[in-house]
């Protein structure tokens, strides 16, 4: 992963948020008699996360929407945000990764003190891998010079994951304890697991290594941490991704006589009001975000690879697409 100077990132982020507004004028709007914005941008004073919420409001940035869309957290309260970002990671381990004491982290969780913006950015990056997602929802990241190398790295991975969706599956397999228990890379292990040739396995691993998603360490591959959710920007590519994973799940079900114990499957058909469906959409997004937060922060021994598909299809959209309802060939 490209090294990140979080102090410099914070200073340049604040400048991007301010945009063309004057430092002195913005400071006055925030209630400061002196030029507090200058002090923050110059790194002379640390800006608290709570200060960011005030700054965002004055600059007409909906921080709550940014946080919700980028990481799935429904609040900007620092206590809630910290708890969400830590997820299932044990406090001593999270503190070690952030290079702070567990006592500081516990104070944040209890609400006895609050993290700075620098520290929240570190948590977004180190604990969840969602730094780029957060920043892209807030500002034009091209204005942040120190982010250029990381953005280029992120986009190379995004291109690979959108054009070769199975790459996500390969990196998940590489993270399992079964793979990591081998002293060196077992040629054909990936190929057998995903049903491709050994030549295809080699090609996929080579592509992942070229974009910096994995590295060969002591004869076997290790995944370089990054956001697990890498969505395409255009509709056509997004639809290809959706079809790929939906068809993979359908093929799995077709080839299974019964659902294995570790898999889950549920379905329902119902009528509902617009308001009711709006409430379901909110819960749907919250559930997905919470699952990804658990997956991103999980520090336990990884013995499983899971493919999660969530769909809620509207009958009118389904009919207008030209799709045919599945026929019931057995009415028993």
Which residue has tokens 């969840």?
Answer: 128
Segments making up each domain of the chain, as ranges: 6-148, 164-223
8 Å CB contact between 201 and 190: yes
Does the pLDDT value for residue 315 go beyond 80?
Answer: no
pLDDT 10s digits, 280-312: 888 888 888 788 778 877 878 888 888 888 888
Mean pLDDT for all residues in the chain? 86
pLDDT 10s digits, 65-91: 999 888 888 899 999 999 999 988 899
What are the structure tokens assigned to 83, written together? 């708890």
Which residue has tokens 């009415």?
Answer: 331
Domain 164-223, second-level architecture = Orthogonal Bundle (1.10)
8 Å CB contact between 245 and 238: no
> Sign of torsion, CA 115 118 66 130?
negative
Q: What pLDDT, on the 0 to 100 scale, is given for residue 259?
A: 66
pLDDT 10s digits, 122-138: 999 988 888 998 999 99
| Residue 179: count of CB within 10 angstroms of its CB | 20
**Considering only 155-159, 168-172, 259-263, which range has the smallest mean pLDDT?**
259-263
Q: What pLDDT, on the 0 to 100 scale, is given for residue 331?
A: 36
Does the pLDDT value for residue 273 go beyond 60?
Answer: yes
Q: Which helix (H) or strand (E) holds 109?
A: helix 102-110
Q: Which helix (H) or strand (E) holds 218?
A: none
Considering the entire predicted model, what is its pTM?
Answer: 0.72
Q: Band of the pLDDT at 229, cuts 50, 70, 90?
A: very low
Q: What pLDDT, on the 0 to 100 scale, is given for residue 195?
A: 87
8 Å CB contact between 16 and 137: no
Taking the C-alpha atoms of residue 236 and residue 241, their distance in angstroms, rounded to an integer, is 9
Which residue has tokens 């395409």?
Answer: 232
8 Å CB contact between 214 and 223: yes
The pLDDT of 110-132, averaged and rounded, is 93
Q: What pLDDT, on the 0 to 100 scale, is given for residue 62?
A: 96
pLDDT 10s digits, 176-214: 999 999 999 999 999 999 889 999 999 999 999 988 889
């Amino acid at each position: 992963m490209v090294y990140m100077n979080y102090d410099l990132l914070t200073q340049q982020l604040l400048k991007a948020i301010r945009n063309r507004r004057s430092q002195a004028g913005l400071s006055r709007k925030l209630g400061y008699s002196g030029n507090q914005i200058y002090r923050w941008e110059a790194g002379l004073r640390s800006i608290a996360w709570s200060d960011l919420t005030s700054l965002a409001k004055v600059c007409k940035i909906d921080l709550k929407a940014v946080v919700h869309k980028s990481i799935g957290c429904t609040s900007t309260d620092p206590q809630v945000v910290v708890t969400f970002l830590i997820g299932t990671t044990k406090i001593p381990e999270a503190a070690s990764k952030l290079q702070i004491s567990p006592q500081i982290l516990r104070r944040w969780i209890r609400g006895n003190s609050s993290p700075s913006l620098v520290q929240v950015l570190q948590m977004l990056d180190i604990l969840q891998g969602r730094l780029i997602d957060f920043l892209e929802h807030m500002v034009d990241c091209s204005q942040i010079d120190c982010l250029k190398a990381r953005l280029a790295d992120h986009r190379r991975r995004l291109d690979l994951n959108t054009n070769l969706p199975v790459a996500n599956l390969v990196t998940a397999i590489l993270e399992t304890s079964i793979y990591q228990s081998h002293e060196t890379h077992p040629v054909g292990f990936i190929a057998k697991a995903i049903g491709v040739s050994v030549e295809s396995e080699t090609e996929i691993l080579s592509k992942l290594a070229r974009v910096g998603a994995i590295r060969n360490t002591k004869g076997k591959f290790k995944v370089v941490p990054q956001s697990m959710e890498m969505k395409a920007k255009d509709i056509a590519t997004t639809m290809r991704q959706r079809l790929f994973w939906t068809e993979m799940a359908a093929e799995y079900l077709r080839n299974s006589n019964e659902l294995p114990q570790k898999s889950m499957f549920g379905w329902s058909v119902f009528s509902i009001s617009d308001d009711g469906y709006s409430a379901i959409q909110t819960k749907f997004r919250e559930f997905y975000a919470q699952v990804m937060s658990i997956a991103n922060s999980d520090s336990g021994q990884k013995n499983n690879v899971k493919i999660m598909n969530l769909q809620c299809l509207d009958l009118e959209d389904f009919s207008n697409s030209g799709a045919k309802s599945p026929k019931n060939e057995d009415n028993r």
